[in-house]
Amino acid sequence: MLKQPPIRFMHFADAHFGVENYGRFDPETGLNSRLVDFRNALRSAIDTALSADIELAIFSGDAYKARDPTQTHQREFAACISLLTARGIPIVMLAGNHDIPNTKGRANAIEIFGALSGDKVHVIDQPRVVRLRTRSGIPVQVAGMPYLIKSLVLSREAYKDKGVQETTQLIVDRYVAGIEMLAAQCDPNVPTILMGHFSVTNAKLSANQVGYLTNEPEVPLSALAREPFDYVALGHIHRFQDLNKGMQPPVIYSGSVERIDFGEIAEKKGFVIGELSKGDTEYRHIEGPTRTFVEIDVDVMETGEDVTDHLLKAIGKQPVRNAVVKMSYKIRSEQLPHLREPDIRSALSEAFMVVSLHKNVQRDTSAVRSKLLTESLDPMDAIGTYFDTRETLKDRKAELLAYAETLVKELEADEALK
């Protein structure tokens, strides 16, 4: 019996069309510039995958930022997906947490693709196994475990008297039981992909996800890295990673296709191309074009009068052209007369957007205290300067000065009577 050739496939996730932070109106397209960024990133990924002659596409959830995407966001995402279907590439799409409505009975955000695209697009919004053939006719099966929303999968009676940890464990148990059921339904002789949109134990979060994924149910790796699965295609966490590195099957978060914000500044964004075979799947992560985010943090307190030149050098070392830039610099108050702010802004003029330009002014408290000891300093000026040196008093300076002025006048009146 001839060995079946490997199936070349594309795995991508977390497209998040609709993210518009750090965006602006793009006059050329009429769209928000960040939507253009996300669209271009996804188009580039699909074009690269098509050039690599893929036979199957796997999308592991979160097409949009919102559960109720606008018609514009739907149109732009659909245009990207049509690049695959127009070439005869079957695509399996899994519902992520951003795709699923909170109310039973409402259509999810990606359901329409399965209704309109015939046998080319398969949408999984309930745990099930899809059996299909690739573009060249090779059989493959895809088991899908979508995101579970607590209010939709647990009755109120099941968790009304339980704490957060107990409820979270109930959801984990549902995931594990669902994956076990899917494994039992798969033909062990057919190449198999398991899709999932959830958190896995020990997965590394993107910095911007740490806050809102607290108490997130975490599925154990052992539930995924098992037969009959030959590749595990995950979405939900935006950082690319292999949770079963060097072992079979690969358990992969493909990561998001574009950066959401500065929390993902150092992450490589893109997608995965794999070659699926029973017990021997290989893959590679391909980085795509994304909007550059640049964060510049400089301390120029020891540079004397050359403060502007040092700041310009720091900017010159960064790829600020067409980037979203955040800059902060620490400077002494005595250096401010030597700071040429127009030159700084000019050096940043090629940036796509400067979202922050923060000047952290540090006062020389030793000089202030020395000045306070001199008899020539006016009492009210001395008190005001003292308040400036105390972080806990700065915000109340006006209020405290009013009290101080009354006391100073009383003291001056007492002195005059002596």
Amino acid at 308: T
pLDDT attached to residue 372: 47
Per-residue pLDDT of 61-72, as tens digits, reads 999 999 899 999
- Helices marked H in 201-325: 307-316
Task: Confirm if 200 and 251 have CB atoms less than 8 A apart.
Answer: yes
How far apart, in whole angstroms, are the C-alpha atoms of residue 347 and residue 361?
A: 21
| Range scoring the smallest mean pLDDT among 11-25, 37-51, 146-160, 237-251 | 146-160
pLDDT for residue 414 is more than 70: no
How far apart, in whole angstroms, are the C-alpha atoms of residue 94 and residue 245?
A: 24
pLDDT attached to residue 105: 66
Beta bridge partners of 26: 31
pLDDT for residue 155 is more than 70: no
How far apart, in whole angstroms, are the C-alpha atoms of residue 260 and residue 169?
A: 29
pTM value? 0.83
Beta bridge partners of 282: 275
Q: Which of 235 and 415 is assigned the larger pLDDT? A: 235
How far apart, in whole angstroms, are the C-alpha atoms of residue 51 and residue 330?
A: 49
pLDDT attached to residue 109: 87
Can you give the residue ranges of every domain in the chain? 7-287, 292-362, 366-418
Per-residue pLDDT of 245-276, as tens digits, reads 999 999 999 999 999 999 999 899 999 999 99
How far apart, in whole angstroms, are the C-alpha atoms of residue 55 and residue 9?
A: 6
Per-residue pLDDT of 299-348, as tens digits, reads 999 888 899 999 999 999 999 999 999 999 999 999 999 999 999 999 99
Q: Tell me the percentage of the chain whose pLDDT exceeds 90.
A: 68
How far apart, in whole angstroms, are the C-alpha atoms of residue 381 and residue 378?
A: 5
Structure-block tokens of residue 197: 């949109």
CATH topology of domain 7-287: Purple Acid Phosphatase; chain A, domain 2 (3.60.21)
pLDDT attached to residue 111: 86
Compute the average pLDDT of residues 367-395: 64
- The secondary structure element, H or E, covering residue 34 is helix 33-51
Per-residue pLDDT of 168-216, as tens digits, reads 899 999 999 999 999 999 999 999 999 999 999 999 998 878 766 767 8
User: Computed over its alpha carbons, how large is the radius of gyration of the chain?
Assistant: 29
pLDDT for residue 355 is more than 70: yes
